[in-house]
């Protein structure tokens, strides 16, 4: 999520990031406030999760201004090292984040260039 927040700051109002709250006991507003995330919160997002086929976290999609999915993190194949086999889900996601955040920035730049 810190990578996504940095994108929100970098792209400003040209980018909207939605945080979907699903299957978690923690108060999502308190969590976002604690880390200064300023995403748009969808508090009861199970229907959105089902519509986009989110089966695990993180589920990351880029949807362009016409509503087309232009990036789906589930389509990215990660070649995890042997060291990451012992990591938990959250730590493994943290190791992958710099890679996928670079891919997301490239895709956002491509979409923004198309709209000029």
Question: Confidence band (pLDDT; 50, 70, 90) for 86?
Answer: low
3-state secondary structure the chain: CHHHHHHHHHHHHHCCCEEECCCCCCCHHHHHHHCCCCCEEECCCHHHHHHHCCCCCCCCEEECCCCCEEEEHHHCCCCCCHHHHHCCHHHHHHHHHHHHHHHHHHHHHHHHHHCC
Query: 82: Cβ–Cβ under 8 A, 6 or more apart, which residues?
Result: none
> What pTM was estimated for this model as a whole?
0.75
Is-contact 87 72, C-beta < 8 A? no
Measured distance CA(1)–CA(22) in Å, rounded: 15
pLDDT in tens, 93-112: 767 778 888 999 999 999 99
CATH class, range 2-114: alpha beta
pLDDT in tens, 3-55: 889 999 999 999 999 888 776 777 888 888 999 998 888 878 888 888 888 87
Please identify which residue in the block is written with the tokens 């012992």. 86
94 is written with which tokens?
């943290």
38 is written with which tokens?
């300023």
Q: How many Cα atoms occupy the beta-carbon half-sphere of 16 within 13 Å?
A: 9
Q: What pLDDT score does 115 carry? A: 83
């Amino acid at each position: 999520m810190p990578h996504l927040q940095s994108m929100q700051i970098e792209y400003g109002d040209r980018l909207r990031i939605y945080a979907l709250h699903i299957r978690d006991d923690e108060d999502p507003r308190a969590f976002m406030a604690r880390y200064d995330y300023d995403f748009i919160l969808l508090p009861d997002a199970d229907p959105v999760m089902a519509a986009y086929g989110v089966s695990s976290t993180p589920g990351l999609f880029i949807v362009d201004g016409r509503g087309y999915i232009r990036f789906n993190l589930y389509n990215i194949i990660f070649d995890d090292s042997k060291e990451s086999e012992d990591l938990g889900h959250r730590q493994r996601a943290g190791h992958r984040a710099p890679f996928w955040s670079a891919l997301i920035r490239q895709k956002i730049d491509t979409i923004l260039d198309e709209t000029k």
